[in-house]
Amino acid sequence: MRPRVFVTQPIAESALVRLREFADVEVNPDSSRILAKPKLIQGVSRNDILLSLLHDTVDRDVLAANPNLKAVASMTITPDRIDVAEATARKIPVTNIPAVVTDATADIAFGLLLAVARRIVEGDKLVRAGAFPGSQSNHLAGTGVTGKTIGLVGGGRIGQAMARRAAGFGMRILYADPRRMPEAEEQRLGATYTDLERLLGESDFVSLHVGMNNETHHLMSTRQFALMKRTAYIINTSRGPVIDEAALARALEEGRIAGAGLDVFENEPKIQPALLRMENVVLTPHLGSAVFELRESMAHIVVDNIHAIVEGRRPPNCINMEVFASAM
């Protein structure tokens, strides 16, 4: 009997074609919104394998919806929204994908930086509304980027990719991270290692590139925003809860910082209402890996994981490999 796979949103058609070769596939057709929990539970209850995306919350209730659930195959690098401990207790393998989103995420981060600094979104709205202030009008004068100081909070893969982009704009690059890069890597990137307080105080743009854990939850809150220049911008493409959104809204309202570019949010898909009203904030709906070629590659990695499980093999990417200890 062929396994049944529930896919929470449409993925690349080429990956679905492969998946249908060895499984019956049910796809939620709506890609415009996150699947509501009751619908997710219904989908899990009538299928053998769940193919979830990064935004799907796979908690105890979802895992309990089907006592015979064979796997959770996630299109995420870190399983922030999956109860891996509960899945392991139920002997349900949870698979992920390797770190393949580095350049795409750095691209969107630098795009947000440029958009908020040069007021690109405001300009777009103005033109569409039929206004055109003139090519030398100060009506939408913004902040220059070339030659400014960027502070990278996190010097890992994406932080380093961001440094390479900043170097192309002749920016002075500071970075803060618990683990310092080798000196040769610092020299290659033109990056200076420092502590977070100095970075916040000297940077014109602060870009966040840290993982989500107890230490980074609300890493940026009232005290940290107070350390930043009033002319500085905060960019976040890491994880939403790294920023205390209420504190960010207050800092912006009080003019403590100049603006923000956000691709991730503390309580996705909900966003702090005050941020939605601010023209000096550019918001995108978690587009970090939203590149056609990359998303197709990611989908095929998930299918590889599912195929291995269906064939009784250990999947190439598994978070809780211990569930296979007695079964394989």
278 with 129: CB under 8 angstroms?
A: no
44 with 68: CB under 8 angstroms?
A: no
Q: Which of 78, 54, 81, 58 is nearest to 69 (CA)?
A: 58
Q: Which residues are catalytic?
A: 239, 268, 286
User: CA-to-CA distance for 263 and 244, rounded, in angstroms?
Assistant: 14
User: CA-to-CA distance for 289 and 280, rounded, in angstroms?
Assistant: 24
User: CA-to-CA distance for 318 and 320, rounded, in angstroms?
Assistant: 6
What is the DSSP code string of 292-328? HHHHHHHHHHHHHHHHHHHTTPPPSSBS-GGGGTTT-
**3-state SS class at 193:** strand
